[in-house]
Structure 1
Amino acid sequence: MANETQRKTYRIGRAAVPAQKAAVPEQRGSADDSLPVKPKRRHRRRLMLIVIGSTIALLLGLVAAGTYLYYRSIDSNIRRTDAFGTTGQSHAEQAQQEAIRPQVEVVGAKNFLLLGSDSRDLDDPDRRGSAGAGRTDAIILLHVDANHGKAYLISLPRDLYVHIPPSPTNPRQGNRDAKINAAFAWGGVPLAVRAVEAYTSVRIDHVVLVDFAGFQQVTDALGGVDLNNDCAFTSIAEPYRHFPEGVNHLNGAAALDYVRQRQQFPDSDFTRMRHQREFLKALLDKAISTDTLRNPIKLNAFLKSVAKAITVDKEFSLADTAFAFRNLSSSDLTMLVSPIRGPAMVNKESVLMPDPTRAKALFDAVAKDTVADWIAQNPQATTTTTTGGCPGR
């Protein structure tokens, strides 16, 4: 904005320079004596316009710089973790690890791994992201296209039965088939990243570990969110909240309760995953609403709450991400689920078996940034329910 203002100031300055004309001798005593020409006054007026324009440009520049520094201060308060497991590795080890990771196929497209951690019993918040630090009740691959105009939230069911590769930080962990959420329990964020990359062949650019308990504060900072509930149900734990069918305005505690429920529904985790994605969309809607953006106090509370609720990789920048995706709204988000064949029993454990063919086609589209084309060929993939059904029906 400052550059635009400066260009306008430059044009004003040029317009202020009078065209060169032939000198005209002063005609004293003529009929024009009643309207004397005062070049000094006009010059002062032009100079004043230039000074005012330059001052406005400078002030706008200072505001932009102040906003940038503010976002940087928020960035500095976010917890960070070694999401890719490179700390302490030699150059040779890092090169070896890099060689087995998927490569960037489309410049500009970004892939975020969102991990929803249930860390209610975690005493030390600095342990977030480490092995054994809670469970991952939500695993979502967020793909943003190269134009930063569309985004896709792809849920990977926590019971998805896949091969967990060896942990980059502890090779004795992993290297066997299991539910995909076991990766986080065994090797923290680094193994979760490796497991998702191995299964999808999509390179993860950034990781955001979401503490759902922390997002209770985020929701409250926004004054609550509105969620459209298609099935009336009651939570299975105290205080046994009832969520009627239709639009529910939820504060932080109620929203957290809402996204944790699964046992009441015929399709269990699939309804919970849908509720989680819908909650994130509602949160985004509220965060980018004019009511939030034009209220400095509310915006400040929101950003500080977000900073407390997330743990990110070492290269993630909230300021840069917010600027890059500033034009995205919830209407630009499409919700998907990684294709599955259905439930099965493996070693007396209930799991969800993946559909390798359909999953490969979807994640190839993610890597090549052609998800919109894949959806056009698979319109049923955007259906938000699976077996569906409401409690008691």
Structure 2
Amino acid sequence: MSPEEVLPAGDTDGSEQTDGPAAKPRRRWLRITLIVLLVFSLVGVGAVVASGFYLKSVESDIERVDAFDNVPEETRPEVVAKGALNILILGSDSRDPESTGGSRADTIILAHVPKDRSSAQLVSIPRDTWVAVPRSNEGRGGRDAKINAAYAWGGLSLMVQTVEQYTKVRIDHVMLVDFAGFKDIIDALDGIDITSEKRFTSIHPPFRTFEQGKQRLDGAAALDFSRQRKQFADGDFTRIKHQQQVIKAILDKAASGGILTNPARLNSFVRATSSAVSVDRSMSLVDMAMELRSLRGNDLTFITNPTKGTGRVGSESVVFADPDKAALFYEAVRRDEVDEILRTGK
């Protein structure tokens, strides 16, 4: 799927909120890279800690959340491809200069890991995607709305139920990410190398200038780089490309750099990563790390939920999904047919 099929170019990312004082401004794609970074950073560390004891000690300090307790079993999709994993990743960035607070999920990613563990497909569902939201136990929802409203109305359980109902994919695990500490992760790597396609200046203080070509960025600069969109004709799509660059740079440096042989730096890296995440009660980061230890940046594929573009429903600017393409795409995800996932996700 080309960018033109996802969203028209220009400042039309459709993220205004109109249902309460906790409303947030547009930032639909702002954090995709950073969320995924967290998941696979832990993977890279697990690859070199053979016994798993160190990561297990870190895991014991990670907050656990109830993600499935209030999801009625009879509403959940069946497991079609045993052994494959589908992980719902939700997050927000409290340090985002455009943030105004609130209780919505700013980023929604369905990470599919095939049963052979040789790759991962990261499916971003725009937070303004117009879907049917089931009714929560408190009686909220039960109508069409932006998908991230599910989190505000019914927390994790309603978010899981909404994503499962929309995609027909059964979610195995849930991860929540707070990006406030992600600068420390990049700094623990002594920065990352990024290549910029042109020279541009950030719109956020301290208004850094990023030169054209390859450059070394520390944590603050890397986050700033990944947040910019207004300086580019295709806006959000340049930002997506920058975010993907950040993910791959961190993955590859974590796996091949000196951090793996430097206990102090390794400790800082893992501790910074673990402090930013909460997971469901059954998810083992040790097991996940050992299973995915061979993944690198080139093994990740970034896909956008099939959409028809943006429009308006009443006073709200929304993203309209493409139901026919989405049905084909998520059926491939359910069946763990990676070649078909990649084909229908274009």
TM-score in terms of structure 2 length: 0.78
Which amino acid is 1:205 matched to?
A: D
Once the two structures are superposed, residues 9-50 of structure 1 have per-residue CA deviations (whole angstroms, 9 ceiling, x without a partner) of: xxxxxxxxxxxxxxxxxxxxxxxxxxxxxxxxxxxxxxxxxx
Q: Deviations over 1:140-189 (max 9, x none)?
A: 1111111000111111112211112223xx34222221222222233332
Identify if the C-alpha distance between structure 1 residues 202 and 285 changes in structure 2 by more than 3 Å, giving closer, same or farther. same
Deviates more, 1:242-251 or 1:293-302: 242-251
Distance 2:308 2:49 in 1: 52
Aligned equivalents of 1:310, 1:362: Cα separation in 2? 29
Compute the displacement of 1:305 (Å). Answer: 0.8
1:192 equivalent in structure 2:
159
The aligned runs of 1:1-393 (5 Å cut-off) are: 67-86=51-70, 97-120=72-95, 134-167=103-136, 170-375=137-342, 377-378=343-344, 381=346
Deviation for aligned residue 1:242: 2.2
Q: CA RMSD in A?
A: 2.4
Letter in 2 for 1:99: E
Task: Quote the Cα distance in structure 1 between the aligned partners of 2:227 and 2:340.
Answer: 33
Greater Rg by CA: 1
The one-character-per-residue Cα deviations of 1:118-156 (angstroms, maximum 9, x if unpaired) are 2349xxxxxxxxxx8644332111111110001111111
Equivalents in 2 of 1:312, 1:285: separation in Å? 24
Code of the residue aligned with 2:123 in structure 1: it is I
Structure 2 residue runs of 5 or longer lacking an equivalent are 1-47
**Residues 356, 365 of structure 1: alpha-carbon distance in 2 compared, 3 angstrom cutoff:** same
Give the whole-Å Cα distance in 2 for the aligned partners of 1:200 and 1:231.
37
Classify the secondary structure of the residue corresponding to 1:288: helix
Residues 1:278 and 1:185: Cα distance change in structure 2 (over 3 Å): farther
> Alignment identity in percent?
48
- Counterpart amino acid of 1:80? R
Contact 1:118 1:211 in 2 (8 A): yes
CA contact (8 A) 1:119 1:135 kept: no
- Aligned-partner SS, 1:237: coil
- Bigger helix share: 1
Alpha-carbon separation, structure 1, partners of 2:149 and 2:113: 27
> Contact (CA 8 Å) 1:155, 1:273: kept in 2 or not?
no
The CA distance in 1 between the partners of 2:49 and 2:187, in whole Å, is 29
Could you tell me how far apart the structure 2 residues matched to 1:186 and 1:280 are? Answer: 31
Between the two proteins, the alignment pairs up a number of residues equal to 295
Q: 1:212 to 1:273 in 2, by over 3 A?
A: farther
Ranked by relative contact order (alpha carbons within 8 Å, sequence separation 6 or more), the top structure is: 2
Q: Flag the 1:186–1:370 CA change in 2: closer, same or farther, 3 A.
A: same
Residue type of the alignment partner of 2:222? A
Q: Is the 8 A contact 2:333 2:341 kept in 1?
A: no
Q: Which runs of 5+ in 1 are unaligned?
A: 1-63, 87-93, 122-131, 382-393
